[in-house]
Amino acid sequence: MTTLRARPLTVAGVERRRPRMRIAVCQNKGGSGKSAMVVNLAAALAEAGELVDVADVDPQGNASRRLAARPAADQMTISEAIKCDALGAARDAYVPCGWGGVYSERIRVLPARFELENRISEAGTVGAVKRLKRALAGCDDRRVTLLDCPPSLGHLTQLAMVAADVVLIVAEPEFDGIEGAVRVLNFVRDHADDLNNPRLRVAGVVPSRVRSGLGVHDFQIAGLDECFPGLVWAPHIRERAVVKAAADSVAPLRSLRTAPAREVAEDFDKLAAQVRKLMEVAA
């Protein structure tokens, strides 16, 4: 009599069972407001009732700090989860957002320390670019995962792109910021197959740190639709001191209780609505 044996669990097998969307938030230039986008978009989604995971793929760990997600000294972080190279290795590495209230209930963080830099040396190892996808398999079962990528197109960003469904580009409306955004767009279009993720696409470009009345910003904003046809999201995130104040105080924007904080939080609410629409269409 032939004995039937179950096949070993594979990443593809796990992924098919999970209704979710992973969004890699990218830019090929530093200082664009990328981590601010991830943190405040996560907050807006949580306020709208969504369960959100934030995977911090940047060794600077800015998203982890701003979400008050401080792992214990002996606790696993995203670096160790990647190094394990095992299905679901990230399961024990998540920590809750430390803001309290609905944020702690609805936002989990896969935190980063600077040691994440050590994973870059593994770029030449066969299959290493798939390790984050394997680590997340079966354990990031929330509606949406935001992956905060470093300001590069190197190994760590590629790990995130392999795991992601879509890319969201954050673009400061200055020459270097637009050029960095174009590099990300072209990289996804040219190398999705190379990353073994042929369905990966850029879902949108969000202008950030926009200063009204600044000539160079007005000029770049006017040309965005031509540069990124059909991809520019609104509203644009304005450069406001309250965003930095919230980041420095490790608190959500709405907790500042000022008119500028409410205005910026409402802008992120509108972006969160676009993310939810994106998920509905994908479903």
Q: What amino acid occupies position 265?
A: A
Residues in the chain, pLDDT under 70: 1-19
CB 265 within 8 A of CB 246: no
Instruction: Return the pLDDT at 12.
Output: 60
Neighbours of 88 (CB within 10 A): 18
Measure CA of the first residue to CA of the last residue in the chain; give whole Å.
42
Are the beta carbons of 39 and 242 closer than 8 angstroms?
no
pLDDT at 11: 60
What pLDDT is stored for residue 9 in this prediction?
52
Q: What is the pLDDT of residue 70?
A: 86
